[in-house]
Structure 1
Amino acid sequence: MAKAEALTPLEFWKIHEALLSHNTTYSDLWYFLYHAPLKIGEVLTLTFDDIENSRIRADEKRGNRALALNEAAMSVITKRQKRYPQDVYLFQSHSNRVKAQPKAITIIAFNAALRQAAAKVTTKNVSSQSARKTRAMQLLTQGADLEFISVMLNHHDAAYTRAWLGADEEKTKAA
């Protein structure tokens, strides 16, 4: 399986627009992944009850650490709470097949929509990880410290972050 690639800001926003024309939940998720310190699997398990005072509550899944959310991520949460006040999950499926019981959207469905949207924009390998990788690479090229980026991504150390960003080895070595 090919590694997800970082995108240019223009590519990121064009994919966001393509997702928005297909499904607002998918476009919200894409934007949230760019801003949140969580991986896709962690995001899809988030409930509105997990969020308190601009933080994701600490629990065993997240290493017993409360994680701060930036203003952009909080704006997605606020918008989704207003739009779907009865939802349990932050990114809940509204498919007729699951209306009887609350379920989060699936990674498979999101990645299928993402691949379709990305195919209209770029030939790069795009997956749910691309949003996080794009933000990390943008911060890195703007001069942000690798240690800061590592904390922002909720990685355990900067060495892991450097390896994770490996496709752009020269940029990460310079940081």
Structure 2
Amino acid sequence: MNEVSAIKSKADLERVETFITKHYSEVISDAWRFGLQVSLRVSDLLAIEFSDIKNDMLTVKAQKTNKSIQIRLNGKALDIVKRRKTYGNKYLFQSTSNRAKSTNKPITRQTLSKALQDASSIIDTVINTHSMRKTWGYFQYRNTNNIALVQKALQHSSTAHTLRYIGIDQDELDNAFTCFEL
């Protein structure tokens, strides 16, 4: 199995968003765009209920670590929440399939994963549900150069792990080999 990557260019992000919006439902598109804003693991992202959001603050109990996380939502995330709230669902990313309608369940990890795997082909990078988190970390680090901030946001135990996770080590190696000549 190929390791999934962060998307490292804004142009590729736009191509993925356009592909998903064109070929998949609004709820899938919204989950992708919201996931890029909040850096949550997909299991936590898909389990978000509207009751977890108060004003502009999202509170989630991480399934993997059992720790409570508070995230102040940015404008893009709040726009998605506002629009999705008009459907009157329990979950932020509630499934619209006939099988799930009567049970009020969120979309599945597999559904979102399939959309992202399909979108991988248009950017020639292997992406999946983990790519939302990796992409957030990559752009946050490139924007701030603050690896401690990214490490804390992603709840990693070491900066080395965070750098490897968001693909910075490989970028720096590639740069070292292509920009240095003897």
TM-score range, shorter chain: 0.7 to 0.9
Equivalent position amino acid for 2:162 in 1: T
Counterpart Cα distance in 1 of 2:59 and 2:136: 23
What's the secondary structure of 1:57's corresponding residue?
A: strand
Superposed CA RMSD: 2.2
In percent, how many aligned pairs have the same letter? 24
Match for 1:67 among 63, 71, 74?
A: 71
- When the two structures are superposed, what TM-score results if normalisation uses the length of structure 1? 0.84
Q: Is the 8 A contact 1:162 1:172 kept in 2?
A: no
Higher alpha-carbon deviation: 66-75 or 87-96: 66-75
Q: 1:34 to 1:60 in 2, by over 3 A?
A: closer
Aligned to 2:131: 130
Equivalent position amino acid for 1:129 in 2: H
Report 1:6-85 matches (<5 A): 6-7=6-7, 8-21=9-22, 22-57=24-59, 59=61, 61=63, 63-82=67-86, 84-85=87-88
- When the two structures are superposed, what TM-score results if normalisation uses the length of structure 2? 0.81
Instruction: After TM superposition, give the deviation of residue 26 of structure 1 in Å.
Output: 1.0
Counterpart Cα distance in 2 of 1:74 and 1:36: 11
Counterpart Cα distance in 2 of 1:156 and 1:65: 16
Q: 1:18 to 1:60 in 2, by over 3 A?
A: closer
Aligned to 1:100: 102
Q: Is the 8 A contact 2:39 2:137 kept in 1?
A: no
Q: Is the 8 A contact 1:34 1:134 kept in 2?
A: yes
For each residue in 1:60-103, what CA deviation from the matched residue of structure 2 results, as whole angstroms up to 9, or x when unmatched? 74513433222222221111112x12x11110001011211101
Counterpart Cα distance in 1 of 2:77 and 2:146: 22
Aligned to 2:179: none
Instruction: After TM superposition, give the deviation of residue 153 of structure 1 in Å.
Output: 3.1
Report 1:148-167 matches (<5 A): 148-165=149-166, 167=167
Q: How many residues align?
A: 169
